[in-house]
Structure 1
Amino acid sequence: MILAALAAATALTTAKAEVAKLTWMAGVWTGQSGGTTVQLTWLPPLDGAMAAVNQAAVPGKAVRVEFITITADDEGVAFTPVMAAAKLGVYRKQPGPDGEAVFENPQNAFPRRVIYRRCGADLCTRLEGEMNGKPTASEIHYIRLTP
């Protein structure tokens, strides 16, 4: 019992350190994708958690708003997007280099993978998965509005 509690505490400490490494994502970002303007605001890591809001505006349509959390738990690092009060599943951070964060949820067709990476001073995202049985990807290159 004590060993299990120590293992969980160690896993949580490791996961919090992984979230702390994502500080490069913090800031206010804007990008374009196929006529859609996207603004993304990430708060810096705080004790194993980050939060973001993503607003997407398409001319002539209502603005889409998504809330995202990245949290440390005893299973690792979880990426959880919520849109229109509907939780879109939990994505788990995969191992990778500094300056890149890959989150995966094998149960989702699209997006199955959500990827954030540094692009020089900018932030790039890529969504990967399948739509109608075909591999699909979507990318956005964000520039920083504020630090």
Structure 2
Amino acid sequence: MLAILAAAALLADATADVAKLAWLAGSWVHEKDGVTVRETWLAPKDGVMGGVGQTNRPGKKPFIEYVKISAEPAGATFTATLPGQAPTPFVLLPGKDGEAVFENKAHDFPQRVIYRRCDPDLCAAVEGEVKGKLQREEWRYRRVR
């Protein structure tokens, strides 16, 4: 019985953490060097936010990524689903308001997915170690709606 109560409390905390990420909701676009990256997030509801990302490069097929942030026993969890790959979870680390750092140390690259408000924009990054060196990719999105 205590285990069930503890699990329920953890899920309640994770649900509250997902709700705190409402600032991420909306449609965002990053354009640079002919490449357009769009990301759209639904507002949190019942411990879940759904999202999709699309990258368009000249002369290449668009790349689509499905993402979600959900309340899980491990905490608020960002899960990315890329074509041909199993879903990959990243757990929210404690941090300040207006910033979300999700981590999965066991993943090859990235190990961290980062979002933060850069009013009025949204800054995002992925980072991790590759062959012992920190690698990082960054995007600065402007709100589309």
Cα gap change, 1:28/1:110 in structure 2, threshold over 3 Å: closer, same or farther?
same
Q: What is the Cα-based RMSD across aligned positions, in Å?
A: 1.3
| In structure 2, distance between residues paired with 1:130 and 1:35 | 28
Q: Which residue of 2 aligns with 1:49?
A: 48
CA contact (8 A) 1:69 1:79 kept: yes
Which residue of structure 1 lines up, in the alignment, with residue 141 of structure 2?
A: 142
Give the TM-score normalised by structure 2.
Answer: 0.95
**Matched residue type, 1:17:** A
Q: CA deviation at 1:135?
A: 1.4
For residue 58 of structure 2, what is the aligned residue in structure 1?
A: 59
The separation in 2 between residues aligned to 1:10 and 1:100, in whole angstroms, is 23
Distance in 1 separating the partners of 2:104 and 2:97 = 21
- Residue 29 of structure 1 aligns with an amino acid whose one-letter code is W
How many pairs align?
Answer: 145
Given residue 100 of structure 1, which amino acid in structure 2 is its aligned partner? E
After superposition, residues 22-37 of structure 1 pair within 5 angstroms as 22-33=21-32, 35-37=34-36
Unaligned runs of 5+ in 1: none
- Shift of the alpha carbon at 1:75? 1.8
* Equivalent residue number for residue 108 of structure 1: 107
Normalised by the size of structure 1, how large is the TM-score? 0.93
Specify every segment of 5 or more residues in structure 2 that has no aligned partner in the other structure, as ranges: none
Q: Secondary structure at the match of 2:21?
A: helix
Distance 2:87 2:110 in 1: 10
Aligned match of 2:39 = 40
